[in-house]
Amino acid sequence: MSFVNVSVVNVYFVSGNDKLLVGRLAIKDRKIFFEYNADFLKTGIEISPLKLPLKTGVFSSNDRVFDGLFGVFNDSLPDGWGHLLLDRKLRKISLNPGDLSPLDRLCYVGHMGMGALTYEPEISSAAIPNYEDLDAIADETLQFQENDNDRFVDDLLAMNGSSAGARPKIVIATSEDDWIIKFRSFLDPKDIGPIEYGYHLMAKSANLDVPKAKLFPSKKGYGYFGVKRFDKMNGKRTHVHTISGLLHVDHRVPSLDYETIMKATMWLTKDHRECEKQFRASVFNVLSHNRDDHAKNFSFVMNTDGKWLISPSYDLTFSSGPSGEHCSTVMGEGKKPSLDNLLKLAEVGGIKKQRAMQIISEVKLAISDWNNIGKNAGVSSDSLKMIKSRLDRVSV
């Protein structure tokens, strides 16, 4: 794999069998510019209505949150694990990762990113290796992390598929579905797969909208959590926009409040039902001690009619958060969000108190069954007890 700095990148929107030229990104003197294609303007498709409204002219971002890149395109870039893999690959072939601009990284993503946007010219990568032996892949990820072993970087990079998130993962396509399968980082408990699967089942019981998921078996450990991609169904892509990209909020820095998330939901979807769904997910995060609720863990999807909806909930698992607090505060409270905080959040979303209390009760009931859900998911007894003790301390 070789890299040549690019100055212009074509952005495409894939809708069914159609591949529409959205516009062009250009970089000059480290400043990034974007202009919509004249034909795309006629489609009425708003890929990022707040920061990149559909109109003529040349745009440039006034902030440096994403190194001058607009958030909707930054959503296509891998972070965490995927970013680490690419940087390690570059160093392996004696290239300085700092020499790559955001446009260069988009060319690496090409057509392999999440969502409906693709980028050209595309920098070809290695062929995707056989993924049938998940235990072997898990061993590779641990060796890569613990021993600074670059032997497997090409395979891991090819299998990552430009997915986001800190945990090691691969993207695979089966005969029926496209899946993201996660592996344990060296900081995770050995039963992290069953824990996340248990949280998925608990969220489903709480009536959250969640993607299809399952625990892929292991001959050597607890198994691997896999989730069906909601951005690619039946071979067709769906446009996805994180709230990080929508609002230009850096997910690495705790700076968001659920109030902003709720207001953005109402502004973008213009649908009270979507606010209710967002509120239910918010309540679940609070009551389930999921404090890794940063700006990239909230997304919106565009349906085939061009209407925005909140995405299915994802990355739901036990987490203590930065310094024991939620990444996103709840009406100003990050350490111990209260019932009063949640009811004020419901009010922001136009949800009446009686309905809000009903949603809270439904989520509480699901979470109260953690021991049974976790046990059935294969969570170890030590993790069951630890998580249960933390859940019992959440006072709402």
Whether the model pTM is above 0.75: yes
CB contact at 8 A, 351 and 275: yes
Shortest CA distance to 384 belongs to which of 320, 318, 323? 318
Report DSSP letters for 2-63, one per residue.
-----SEEEEEEEETTEEEEEEEEEEETTEEEEEE-HHHHTTT--SBTTTB-S-SSEEE-S-
| Predicted pLDDT at 164 | 47
| Predicted pLDDT at 45 | 96
pLDDT in tens, the chain (396 residues): 455 789 999 999 998 889 999 999 999 998 999 999 999 999 999 999 999 999 999 999 989 999 999 999 999 998 766 666 777 777 666 777 788 899 999 998 899 889 999 999 988 665 455 556 888 778 777 776 665 555 555 555 555 544 445 678 888 877 678 899 898 887 889 999 999 999 999 999 999 999 999 999 999 889 999 999 999 887 789 999 999 999 999 988 888 999 999 999 999 999 999 999 999 999 999 999 999 999 999 999 999 999 999 999 999 999 998 899 999 999 999 999 999 999 999 999 999 999 999 999 999 999 999 999 999 999 999 999 999 999 999 988
Shortest CA distance to 312 belongs to which of 225, 168, 204? 204
CB contact at 8 A, 315 and 325: no
CB contact at 8 A, 213 and 225: yes
Token pair of 57, please?
């002219």
| Predicted pLDDT at 162 | 45
CA angle 361, 362, 365 (to 5 degrees): 85
